[in-house]
Amino acid sequence: VIVVPDRALNATAASLLGFLHDGPLTGWDLVATAQRRIGAFWSITQSQVYRELAAMAADGLVEAGERGARDRRPYTITPAGREAFTAWTAELPAAELIRFPLLLTVGFGAHVAPERLAGHVAHHRARHAERLASYEALKAAAESAPAGYGPDMYRLASLDFGLRYERAVLAWFDALPEEIRGPAGGSK
Amino acid sequence: VIVVPDRALNATAASLLGFLHDGPLTGWDLVATAQRRIGAFWSITQSQVYRELAAMAADGLVEAGERGARDRRPYTITPAGREAFTAWTAELPAAELIRFPLLLTVGFGAHVAPERLAGHVAHHRARHAERLASYEALKAAAESAPAGYGPDMYRLASLDFGLRYERAVLAWFDALPEEIRGPAGGSK
DNA sequence: TGGTACATGTAACATGTTACATGATTAG
DNA sequence: CTAATCATGTAACATGTTACATGTACCA
């Protein structure tokens, strides 16, 4: 078997390997797991998962198992995969990338019709309020879980980031001048 | 002249048009302007700027002027460009995208050597502290500028986002358990 | 005269997105 | 039996990144 030894992983591939540390998963499961566990600060699409899985299988980092019911095909991490994952964790993570289109619209607000701007702002404020609520529910669930059954300290730390981020975003919305937010009540 | 009428703009192209509302700029100037004005929540590379400029020129949204000293080539927004920009502002901005590799490393912390993790965390905390300081300086500068000379309300609003974001990130770092942050003092 | 900052651009590649095609299994 | 959900995958395209090639102007 010919295996390309150490093509550096990208963060998306690495996170799939991270999930596979806890046992074999199918592409479908990985999509769902990634959405749930890291969706707040890392987006992954189905296409990417299958592509990365195929590439990693070719590189010997994962192994496809027998197809089961509904064609489910579980992937298992290999020793080479663990090694690649460890090598990835040793590298300094890149700076975060934020792409927030609403901020562009706000930043160019001088050239945007005020009702439009206020409408966009109200829409996004509502979405963020929902996300904050969902994170608070997750946090409450984690705190009431019996010790050893809830998510571990590391997962809690990333959840805490989401919580603080959403709170900061909401505070920003609420501090916006009325010229941008529009008449009070539009987003309450 | 054949002009493709309304190929929808992407946010990067739209932001270039946004800057061109204030007068002609060269590709080089646009890179610098974007970095300064929207770099905190929207990254743009040189390659992209020249590519988008060429595409927009082909679509009649901008017009290349005469080459000046050092081959500087100023681009001017056309009426079609203003129209395309306005159409872009009318669309509901997409949700923000955050990709924060450090959070992946933290989230998978159970599989990462503790000194490594603490090292990465300390590095990023320091970078964020620097960014917060730079935003605070910008804010102070804006506040002390004579009325009408500092950045407008819209730019202040986006600066305010950066400020709140960085404060939230630092607070998150400082709330991290010692098992993740490492021995106290490492990042002070 | 030599280094740095300015300035434009291309090429190759990596990554991300959207849409589609196909079929299995389960619940009602 | 039929609609919804599960599940895998491909294709086409858009966007983003990195590296390079080329040359100009300024300043020490």
Q: Do A108 and B171 touch (CB under 8 A)?
A: no
Q: Which residues of B touch A95 (CB under 8 A)?
A: 124, 127
Identify nearest nucleotide to residue A52 by CA to C1′ distance. C15
Contact between B116 and B186 under an 8 Å Cβ cutoff? The reply is no
Whole-number percent of chain A with pLDDT over 70 = 94
Q: Do A100 and B161 touch (CB under 8 A)?
A: yes
Name which of B76, B80, B183, B77 is nearest B122 in CA terms. B183
Residue B76 β-bridge partners: B63
Q: Which residues of B touch A15 (CB under 8 A)?
A: 104, 108
Mean pLDDT check: name the lowest of A116-130, B3-17, B25-39: B3-17
Q: What is the pLDDT of residues A134-155, one digit of tens each?
A: 999 989 988 888 777 767 899 9
pLDDT tops 70 at residue A12 = yes
A145: amino acid identity, one letter: A
The answer to whether the C-beta of B71 is closer than 7 A to strand C is: yes
The answer to whether the C-beta of B76 is closer than 7 A to strand D is: no
Split at pLDDT 50, 70, 90, the class of B1 is: very low
Nearest Cα of chain A lies from the Cα of B124 at a distance, in angstroms, of 8
Q: What is the pLDDT of residues A79-107, one digit of tens each?
A: 999 999 999 999 999 999 999 999 999 99
Nearest Cα of chain A lies from the Cα of B44 at a distance, in angstroms, of 10
- Tell the burial category of B173 from Cβ atoms under 10 Å away from its Cβ (0-12, 13-18, 19+): buried
Nearest Cα of chain A lies from the Cα of B155 at a distance, in angstroms, of 5
- How far, in Å, CA of A107 to CA of A122, rounded? 16
pLDDT tops 60 at residue A110 = yes
A69 touches chain B (CB under 8 A): no
- How far, in Å, CA of A42 to CA of A47, rounded? 15
Query: Which tokens hold the place of B94?
Result: 């997409």
- How far, in Å, CA of B97 to CA of B35, rounded? 18
Mean pLDDT check: name the lowest of A100-104, A110-114, B150-154: B150-154
Split at pLDDT 50, 70, 90, the class of A187 is: very low
Which among A105, A109, A158 has the least Cβ separation from residue B106? A158
Split at pLDDT 50, 70, 90, the class of B90 is: very high
Q: Do A95 and B179 touch (CB under 8 A)?
A: no
More confident residue, B149 or B8: B8
CA angle A71, A77, A78 (to 5 degrees): 125
3-state helix, strand, coil in chain A (%, to 5): 65, 5, 30
Q: Do A103 and B165 touch (CB under 8 A)?
A: no
Which among B15, B103, B168 has the least Cβ separation from residue A104? B15
Mean pLDDT check: name the lowest of A1-10, A119-128, B7-16: A1-10
Selected for mutation to probe chain B from A17, A92, A105, A155 (highest B CB count within 10 Å) is: A105
Separation of CA A183 and C1' C15 in angstroms?
A: 41
- Residue B185 is predicted with a pLDDT of 53
Total residues found in chain A within this entry: 188
Contact between A120 and A108 under an 8 Å Cβ cutoff? The reply is no
- Residue A25 is predicted with a pLDDT of 96
Report residue A155 CA to chain centroid gap.
12
Query: Which tokens hold the place of A127?
Result: 């979405």
- How far, in Å, CA of B16 to CA of A126, rounded? 28
Q: Chain B 120-159, CB below 8 Å of chain A: which residues?
A: 120, 123-124, 127, 152-155, 157-158
Average predicted confidence (pLDDT) for chain B: 91
The answer to whether the C-beta of B35 is closer than 7 A to strand D is: no
Whole-number percent of chain B with pLDDT over 90 = 81
**SS3 state at B95:** coil
Residue nearest to nucleotide D9 (CA to C1'): A50
Q: Do A168 and B164 touch (CB under 8 A)?
A: yes
- How far, in Å, CA of B25 to CA of B77, rounded? 9
**Mean pLDDT for the stretch of residues A21-37:** 95
Report residue B105 CA to chain centroid gap.
24
- Beta-carbon contacts of A148 under 8 Å, excluding residues fewer than 6 positions away, are none
pLDDT tops 70 at residue B5 = no
Q: Do B89 and A116 touch (CB under 8 A)?
A: yes
Q: Do A108 and B18 touch (CB under 8 A)?
A: yes
- Residue A1 is predicted with a pLDDT of 47
pLDDT tops 50 at residue B70 = yes
- Beta-carbon contacts of B164 under 8 Å, excluding residues fewer than 6 positions away, are A168, A169, A171, A172
Which residues of A in 48-107 have their CB below 7 Å from strand C's atoms? 48, 69-71
**Mean pLDDT for the stretch of residues A25-53:** 94
Q: What is the pLDDT of residues B103-132, one digit of tens each?
A: 999 999 999 999 999 999 999 999 999 999
